[in-house]
Structure 1
Amino acid sequence: MPDPAPARKGFAPARTLRDAASLAAAGLLPPGADLAALSAVAARYAIAVTPAMAALIDPADPRDPVAAQYLPDAAELATAPHEVADPTADAPFTPVPGVVHRYPDRALLKPLLACPVYCRFCFRREVVGPDGGLLTTEQLEAAIAWFARTPQVREAILTGGDPLMLSPRRLAWLLERLGEIPHLEILRIHTRVPVADPGRVNAALSAAITIDKPLYLCLHANHAREFTAEAAVALRRLTAAGVVLLGQSVLLRGVNDDPQALEDLFRTMLRHRVKPYYLHQLDPAPGTARFHVPPAEGRAILSALRFKVTGLAWPTYVQERPNGGGKAVVGPVWGDVAAETLATG
């Protein structure tokens, strides 16, 4: 298989690009792009393209799978009838600011709502942004106190936003405080940082996440090209710190909606010691309809990988149920294929 992460030679932006004019100046937008329309998108939904991700984008390719994830599109301002601002229904399950308790034995903690990059399909796109959602020390203390007095919760899941955007000192403090709660058996972090901004995974961050309790890191990546040489170094640092790496991806039109793209993604994850964990059906956030892949098509794509990849490469294909109902397994259902295999040994 060819190198999954070729960078454009000679292109190395020095900073994260955060508006349409910067994207145009960097040569990432197609000729004739409507900057006024894209600025209107940016006024509603935050833009951030890190140097690491900008280097992977081929502006000459209108079907570039990295560009599709991060570059704004005027279609984002059109909300389809089925789309809702809070598709996972975080708000009704928030006992204290920053905490979401939807499942009996685990709960989310969102210490901030900033990310290194802003995905154009994000299910929290109405609330995430560079200036949004940073919990104060008092709010974090209240959230930690909630976990301490809720013994049925055995797992704390740090999400957001991206928890690895916290300073290493703040992250270490938070993990230490959660780790002191006896009934919390597992801590988990959901992040895009190791691929989107791998330089943040430095010695200080590695020290911050070296803890006694089991720590799982769930890496969000949707295409094999996101696993650059720099990302490989970051992921090695994490495994050296004793962190177990899991992978989660979203099935996206124009990014990974074919069997070969998913096979390459899952195999690349495994080569970097990342176990594919979840493949998510797209959540119906506003302005994301261009990424939608019908579940029946998703099942067919996964079915095409049956017997082609190791079971280690197999994620669970899930969809969030309405009104905070949690995840439901979408499939695929093997039916006669599975029965025939059993019959023939």
Structure 2
Amino acid sequence: MSQMSTEPDGIRPSLTRREDIPDEQWNDWRWHMRKRITNLDKAREWIRPTLLEERAIAETAGKYRWSVTPYYASLMDPYDPGCPVRQQAVPALGELLEFSGAEVDPVGDMYYRKTNRVVHKYPDRVIMLITEACPVYCRHCTRKFHTTDVDGTYFERSEGEDFSEDLRYIAGHPEIRDVLLTGGDPLSYRDGKLEEIIAGLRAIPSVEIIRIGSRFPVLLPQRITPDLCAMLARYHPVWLNTHFNHPKEITPEAERAVDRLLRHGIPVGNQTVLLRGINDEVDTMRRLMTELLRIRVRPYYLYHCDNVTGVSHFMTSIEKGWEIMEGLQGHITGFGVPQYVLTTRLGKIPIARPYHRETPDGLALRNYRGEEMLVDDSVCPLTESAAAHGFRHAPDVTENRTTATGEGAR
């Protein structure tokens, strides 16, 4: 089917532009939440939907939620369905295809769930799935069943249930020192409700770090208000990880939101998902990482896209991920290179290609240009026994020392 608009020539209404919205409204995150795009008619105010997009919107209705903030819609190319922002936000027919091995929960959130909201997968940290709601229902969400599927949820009971059971579980496991609030997007809550949850966590002595996973800095940066940041700063240490996937998402508004968080002492990291047709080119990923560093966001993870029901059409091959990582390492500053991981029920598994291999003659190394060298075992011991053998052949550093009562003491 051709990717063409269904609107006949001469009957095309003018598109909404950022300049058409008064600043008072545009700068108010609540206005954007009220004015979210949730149907085809609203979409036509911002983009020219193609026949395939219109069909996808119709056929996913009743199956998957759809919501786009006016801010995020303003970043879309209104005439190009291949726009990297548009692909992340507008339903596609690929969401309805069946893929081999696809699951609704491949990372095991439900398997490791201990209470209605607490998922305890790692020894010293847990996640709290505190909501199903998001400002934009990203089409590639790894928790699509929980957030976007109309009939799906990870919750055993209502999201609005009391949080006491969750807090009791965390308090009863003093090994838990790190709690990540996620969902859905925790910042979908108003400040008062969010503070109630964070204050409950901060009252637990064993909880050292509170983290928030939020895509609001990308999808609706106006949500990062001075009041929100001041509230979060009362409960330090608080960290925030967000989710930029393409350089087009790094706007002046997003940069100001990040700056506001940083000025309140809240470090910001980024977790990018490798997405087919969106960021699966080396040049795109380099620009994304260097732009993140420019706005002082630390690249943290590059996730291989999970084989999630309704998401699988975004998956690339592992080989493509290796190509991307090889194009980053050595070509941009070291702390701008994220860790490439595959998320499984065993946890997040690093899967980047190694830059070394063991040989009978020592350690074979290669750099980002593909140049190789061999480091002899005597120069860089591979094992503790080899290292101890090297020390036995070293000069005795104690031979020339004087004691506190000897000549040197005087």
**TM-score of the pair, normalised by structure 2:** 0.76
In structure 2, C-alpha distance between the alignment counterparts of 1:234 and 1:288, rounded to whole Å: 29
Question: Which among 23, 40, 49 is matched to residue 29 of structure 1?
Answer: 49
Contact 1:121/1:288 (<8 A) preserved = yes
In structure 2, C-alpha distance between the alignment counterparts of 1:171 and 1:109, rounded to whole Å: 12
**Superimposed CA distance per residue, residues 259-291 of structure 1 (whole angstroms, 9 cap, x where no aligned partner):** 111111111111111100000000111122321
In structure 2, C-alpha distance between the alignment counterparts of 1:22 and 1:53, rounded to whole Å: 14
2:259 equivalent to 1:230 = no
Counterpart of 2:226 in structure 1 is: 203
Q: How many Å apart are 1:37 and its aligned residue?
A: 3.8
2:78 equivalent to 1:59 = yes
2:159 equivalent to 1:135 = yes
Contact 1:111/1:135 (<8 A) preserved = yes
Give the 3-state SS of the residue equivalent to 2:350 in structure 1: strand
Q: Given residue 332 of structure 1, which amino acid in structure 2 is its aligned partner?
A: R
2:359 equivalent to 1:330 = no
Counterpart of 2:114 in structure 1 is: 95
Give the 3-state SS of the residue equivalent to 2:201 in structure 1: helix
In structure 2, C-alpha distance between the alignment counterparts of 1:11 and 1:309, rounded to whole Å: 39
* 18-27 or 226-235: bigger deviation: 18-27
**Superimposed CA distance per residue, residues 51-95 of structure 1 (whole angstroms, 9 cap, x where no aligned partner):** 111111113223211111111111211121211111211111111
Change (3 A) 1:191 1:185: same
2:67 equivalent to 1:48 = yes
In structure 2, C-alpha distance between the alignment counterparts of 1:96 and 1:24, rounded to whole Å: 42
Change (3 A) 1:261 1:87: same
**What's the C-alpha RMSD, in Å, of the aligned pairs?**
2.3
Q: Given residue 206 of structure 1, which amino acid in structure 2 is its aligned partner?
A: C
**Superimposed CA distance per residue, residues 20-76 of structure 1 (whole angstroms, 9 cap, x where no aligned partner):** 33223432422x346354222132111111111111111322321111111111121
**Superimposed CA distance per residue, residues 182-216 of structure 1 (whole angstroms, 9 cap, x where no aligned partner):** 11111110010012111111122112211343111
Contact 1:108/1:157 (<8 A) preserved = yes
Change (3 A) 1:16 1:188: same
Counterpart of 1:16 in structure 2 is: 36
In structure 2, C-alpha distance between the alignment counterparts of 1:161 and 1:34, rounded to whole Å: 24
Q: How many Å apart are 1:111 and its aligned residue?
A: 1.1
Q: How many Å apart are 1:162 and its aligned residue?
A: 0.4
Q: Given residue 327 of structure 1, which amino acid in structure 2 is its aligned partner?
A: K
Contact 1:221/1:249 (<8 A) preserved = yes
Contact 1:114/1:130 (<8 A) preserved = no
In structure 2, C-alpha distance between the alignment counterparts of 1:191 and 1:86, rounded to whole Å: 20
Change (3 A) 1:293 1:135: same
2:87 equivalent to 1:68 = yes
Counterpart of 2:392 in structure 1 is: none
Question: How many residue pairs are counted as aligned between the two chains?
Answer: 334
Change (3 A) 1:28 1:214: farther
Q: Given residue 63 of structure 1, which amino acid in structure 2 is its aligned partner?
A: G
Counterpart of 1:114 in structure 2 is: 133
Contiguous gaps of at least 5 residues in structure 2: 1-15, 27-31, 357-364, 376-410
Query: Between Structure 1 and Structure 2, whose CA radius of gyration is higher?
Result: 2
In structure 1, C-alpha distance between the alignment counterparts of 2:20 and 2:100, rounded to whole Å: 40
Aligned ranges for residues 156-171 of structure 1 at < 5 Å? 156-171=179-194
Change (3 A) 1:261 1:8: farther
**Superimposed CA distance per residue, residues 100-148 of structure 1 (whole angstroms, 9 cap, x where no aligned partner):** 111111000011110111111111111214997663352x111111111
Contact 2:36/2:69 (<8 A) preserved = yes
Give the 3-state SS of the residue equivalent to 1:44 in structure 2: coil
Give the 3-state SS of the residue equivalent to 1:331 in structure 2: coil
In structure 1, C-alpha distance between the alignment counterparts of 2:234 and 2:353, rounded to whole Å: 37
In structure 2, C-alpha distance between the alignment counterparts of 1:51 and 1:130, rounded to whole Å: 22
Q: Percent identity?
A: 32
Contiguous gaps of at least 5 residues in structure 1: 1-6
Aligned ranges for residues 170-209 of structure 1 at < 5 Å? 170-209=193-232
Question: Which among 283, 288, 297 is matched to residue 306 of structure 2?
Answer: 283
In structure 2, C-alpha distance between the alignment counterparts of 1:114 and 1:9, rounded to whole Å: 25
In structure 2, C-alpha distance between the alignment counterparts of 1:11 and 1:226, rounded to whole Å: 21
Q: How many Å apart are 1:244 and its aligned residue?
A: 0.8
In structure 2, C-alpha distance between the alignment counterparts of 1:251 and 1:305, rounded to whole Å: 13
Counterpart of 2:11 in structure 1 is: none
Change (3 A) 1:235 1:28: farther
Q: Given residue 288 of structure 2, which amino acid in structure 1 is its aligned partner?
A: L
In structure 2, C-alpha distance between the alignment counterparts of 1:300 and 1:123, rounded to whole Å: 23
